[in-house]
Amino acid sequence: MAVSFKMCVSFGLFVGLMMLGLVSSAKFDELFQPGWAMDHFIYEGELLKLKLDNYSGAGFASKSKYLFGKVTMQIKLVEGDSAGTVTAYYMSSDGPNHNEFDFEFLGNTTGEPYLVQTNVYVNGVGNREQRMNLWFDPTKDFHSYSILWNQRQVVFLVDETPIRVHTNMEHKGIPFPKDQAMGVYSSIWNADDWATQGGLVKTDWSHAPFIATYKGFEIDACACPVSVAANEIAEKCRSSGEKRFWWDEPTMSELSVHQSHQLVWVRANHLVYDYCTDTARFPVMPVECEHHRH
């Protein structure tokens, strides 16, 4: 019994570590490269800062594209009056029929909570926005923001707490993003036509530059070289035989009981907008909302 218990504990610890995606953080330039406005990048040791002023924002992209896995960044958002600004962190494939998973951090006026907007695009179609505030001030310290993606679900996590799940419901005839490799991107830019209170509050450039700070870059995912043909990507990144990916394990096909409880708590206490309940935009409920448990 003691041996079995130790084996169970060891296995449980192993699975727990795999679920957390505990891989060592890489330096920025090992995984990413500047995408635009290199003069708005500031490097301070392990920290990367992106700057937004009235001349330009800035953005970066991963050197590789990936199909399934987990990506994480630690971000400290713009302090003070950040109204009108957006710090975006997302995964996306290419082309008009692209897939995309978005974190967008919507700037605020001083003293108001930051809003986090998530969105999911499938085959070029988005309009699946959810917005929530957070249970901490994301401008005072670094917090981890992760996207976990496998063939069964897409999970958005904040400090390992799930805040949104997009479940594969292909059995209901609903498309699911699983056949296009995605790059990982982040940027800071001016979006004062919509970002803060629907565009009512504009960017105050007297407070510029606006700085978003990053560290702890982690990508534990199946890399897809350009040389791999599109029809071979899914096969390359699927567990088979002795080739096993942790995100394909049965324990990763849905949230744990604890994670489900966390998600319920987040939605009950911090969700401020859900496209599924927006009858003005969607007089007929989107079909995935009818079947989704969360």
Active site residue ranges: 100, 104
Question: Are 218 and 79 in contact, with CB atoms under 8 Å apart?
Answer: no
Question: Are 212 and 89 in contact, with CB atoms under 8 Å apart?
Answer: no
Q: What is the length of the chain?
A: 294
Question: Count of alpha carbons within 13 Å of 83, Cβ hemisphere only?
Answer: 17
Q: What is the enclosing helix (H) or strand (E) of 3?
A: helix 2-20
Q: What is d(CA 184, CA 218) in angstroms, rounded to the nearest whole number? A: 11
Indicate the DSSP class of residue 92. Answer: E
Number of other CB atoms surrounding residue 181 within 10 Å = 25
Most distant CA pair in the chain, distance: 68
